[in-house]
Amino acid sequence: MMFSEYNCHHGPPPHSFGPPPHHHHPHHPMTAPPPPHHMPPQHPHQQPHPGYPRPRMDPTSDVFTCLFGDLFVKCFEENSNGMDSMSNPYRPMGDSYGDNSYLNKSRKNKEDKYCGVCGDRALGYNFDAISCESCKAFFRRNAPKGLDYFKCPYEEKCKMDVSNRRFCKRCRLRKCFEIGMRKEYILTDEEKYRKRQRIEENRKVREVEKHKHQSGVVSTSQNGLRILDPEEEIMINEIVKAYRQSLEVPIESKVPRANPNMIDLINIAEVSVRRVVDMAKKLKPFKALSQTDQISLLKGGSIELLILRSVISFDKEKNIWLDPFDKEGCAMTPEQLKTGFDHKPGETENFPPFAAGSGIFDEHMKFVKSIAIDLKADETALILLLMLSLFSPDRPCVVDKEYVSREQDKYALLLQRYLESKHPCHIARMIYPKLLMKLTDIRNLNEEHSQVLLKMNPEGIQPLMKEVMDLHLPKRLIENVKYESPSDSSQTSDLSP
């Protein structure tokens, strides 16, 4: 078995290190997950999906090896205590991490909240009700359509939880309305832009006043652009260097690109996953996290990080995807990508047909071009946006949310400073909130891609991608489907339940 289960509500697994985990308070009556309803007959695709709580990674699995290398796997096998006996030299050792008063303070300031729709962790109120980020995005997209737009194949008795919230849009939307979410609170694009502009202007005024108070007038060049502080330049250079060095990770698999299907596209993306992991391993703030949190951030944001990487590697002049060190033969065109989304892979006797549509491809291309062409974001700005997505504190099973949140705030400010150094103030002030809004758009794209992945037969997908994206056959099919062992030993996968 590749995974051993643990409950994310009760802290990290025993093999973790770093600061002591926060002890959760008993569920508040207003924020407790809803009681379970009658469970309808399960759809063939409704296999348990490890969204929340997520299973703990086996240290000898493909993802763990990709993250930490054979040296750590060997160390884990020789030492039953695993991570508990290993110190982390990258962890900041200031008072804020060693003092119990810090933990008590954060427990008082941040009471755990749970989504009234699916029971996932929630950060606060959305549209007048407590909900998670996924249900917030779902409600924003679907509430204007109304309940009558959707149909429920299970007599409207679907159970809503993290594992199966994606299977029935009608029951999920009905639950949103039941907990008090109000569609009149959904802002139009123009209203959202004006609101974010006001917030950004107010925050900008506060930042300028604070900076003036601390160090006098902000340094500007002769053309009116902001001059980056030496510390800011060092941070940006380290991040960009880590990203560019990650591009040297070679392409190992030989997947056909001429006429790909969806499974081929997923296997092609494996090198992008390895490059994202390689970049993260070079960053001190990421290495300061426990290995449990490192895996949670990478697995929870895998699709979003791949989408952002596709924006960075998109050559708008040649209209292809190609990283600098890759050969021309590895390039991918929009036409090939569309073919992959439209092409149905082979079906097994007991597995329903895969339903892909060019609609997701169109949304993906719209997202890529909106950043690369419309906003004219350069490589450095996109890499900083990638950092914001990587350090998302709301990923499932992240223990040290305070640290991750602080790092995300740091990169958000760094992105703003960088834009001010490249554009006049009024232009930077316009581009910055639009780039931040793209993080919301990418959550929506993530949801759509996840819908497609849930309908796929994972046979033929490389083991690392199965692990990262939680693609596993339903238990009833594991005994019926015969897998041919690939010649490459690195492609083997343990499919035992």
Q: What is the pLDDT of residues 125-156, one digit of tens each?
A: 999 899 999 999 999 999 999 999 999 988 88
pLDDT above 70 for 448 = yes
Neighbours of 333 (CB within 10 A): 14
Highest mean pLDDT among 229-243, 258-272, 345-359: 229-243
At residue 227's C-alpha, the angle toward residues 224 and 229, to 5°, is 160
Neighbours of 34 (CB within 10 A): 17
Residue 447: what pLDDT? 78
Neighbours of 358 (CB within 10 A): 12
- Which residues have a Cβ under 8 Å from the Cβ of 23 and sit 6 or more positions away? 11, 107
CA nearest 127: which of 142, 114, 140?
140
Domain for residue 73, yes or no?
no
Residue 256: what pLDDT? 62
pLDDT above 70 for 443 = yes
- Report the C-alpha gap between 400 and 394 in whole angstroms: 10
Q: Kindly state whether residues 253 and 126 are assigned to the same domain.
A: no
Average pLDDT on 254-262 reads 68
Q: Kindly state whether residues 169 and 227 are assigned to the same domain.
A: no
Max distance between CA atoms of the chain, in angstroms, equals: 72
Residue 328: what pLDDT? 59
Domain for residue 44, yes or no?
yes
308: domain CATH number is: 1.10.565.10
Domain for residue 472, yes or no?
yes
Neighbours of 231 (CB within 10 A): 9
180, 63 contact by CB (below 8 A): no
Residue 386: which pLDDT band, with cuts at 50, 70 and 90? very high
Average pLDDT on 57-69 reads 48
339, 259 contact by CB (below 8 A): yes
Domain for residue 12, yes or no?
no
pLDDT above 70 for 362 = yes
pLDDT above 60 for 3 = no
Q: Mean pLDDT score of the chain, rounded to an integer?
A: 70
Q: Kindly state whether residues 298 and 447 are assigned to the same domain.
A: yes
Q: Which H or E run includes 71? A: helix 62-78
431, 246 contact by CB (below 8 A): no
- Report the C-alpha gap between 218 and 397 in whole angstroms: 40
Question: What total of structural domains would you count in the chain?
Answer: 2
Domain for residue 453, yes or no?
yes
Q: Pairing state of beta strands 3-4 and 320-321?
A: unpaired
Q: Kindly state whether residues 224 and 306 are assigned to the same domain.
A: yes
Burial degree of 147 (CB within 10 A; 0-12, 13-18, 19+): middle
Residue 222: what pLDDT? 52
Sequence length of the chain is 497
**pLDDT per residue over 465-493, tens digit each?**
777 777 655 443 334 433 333 333 333 33
**Which residue carries 């930077």 as its tokens?**
428
- Could you tell me which residue, 229 or 332, shows the higher pLDDT? 229
Residue 27: what pLDDT? 43
Residue 87: what pLDDT? 39
Q: Kindly state whether residues 240 and 281 are assigned to the same domain.
A: yes
**pLDDT per residue over 149-178, tens digit each?**
999 988 888 989 998 898 899 999 999 999
Q: Kindly state whether residues 322 and 181 are assigned to the same domain.
A: no
Percent of the chain predicted with pLDDT > 70: 59
Chain-centroid distance, C-alpha 385:
12
Average pLDDT on 24-36 reads 43
**Which residue carries 């969806």 as its tokens?**
262
Q: Kindly state whether residues 128 and 232 are assigned to the same domain.
A: no
Domain for residue 209, yes or no?
no
83, 290 contact by CB (below 8 A): yes
pLDDT above 70 for 300 = yes
Residue 320: what pLDDT? 72
What 8-state DSSP symbol labels residue 491? G
Percent of the chain predicted with pLDDT > 90: 28
Average pLDDT on 263-291 reads 87
**pLDDT per residue over 87-100, tens digit each?**
343 344 444 434 44
pLDDT above 70 for 180 = yes
- Report the C-alpha gap between 181 and 117 in whole angstroms: 10
- Structure tokens, 372: 């690369």
* Phi-psi group of 285: left, alpha or beta (phi > 0 → left; psi -120 to 50 → alpha; rest → beta): alpha
Residue 445: what pLDDT? 81
- Rounded to the nearest 5 percent, the helix, strand and coil shares of the chain are 55, 5, 45
Domain for residue 300, yes or no?
yes
Q: Kindly state whether residues 167 and 241 are assigned to the same domain.
A: no
* Phi-psi group of 492: left, alpha or beta (phi > 0 → left; psi -120 to 50 → alpha; rest → beta): beta
- Report the C-alpha gap between 348 and 479 in whole angstroms: 13
Tell me which residue range forms the domain holding 412. Answer: 219-491
- Could you tell me which residue, 321 or 77, shows the higher pLDDT? 321
CA nearest 287: which of 92, 12, 43?
92
Domain for residue 112, yes or no?
yes
- Report the C-alpha gap between 304 and 395 in whole angstroms: 12
Q: Kindly state whether residues 411 and 337 are assigned to the same domain.
A: yes
Q: Kindly state whether residues 331 and 414 are assigned to the same domain.
A: yes
Q: Which H or E run includes 137? A: helix 133-142
Residue 192: which pLDDT band, with cuts at 50, 70 and 90? confident
- Could you tell me which residue, 95 or 336, shows the higher pLDDT? 336
307, 439 contact by CB (below 8 A): no
44: domain CATH number is: 3.30.50.10
Which parts of 317-357 fold into alpha helices (H)?
334-342
- Which residues have a Cβ under 8 Å from the Cβ of 78 and sit 6 or more positions away? none
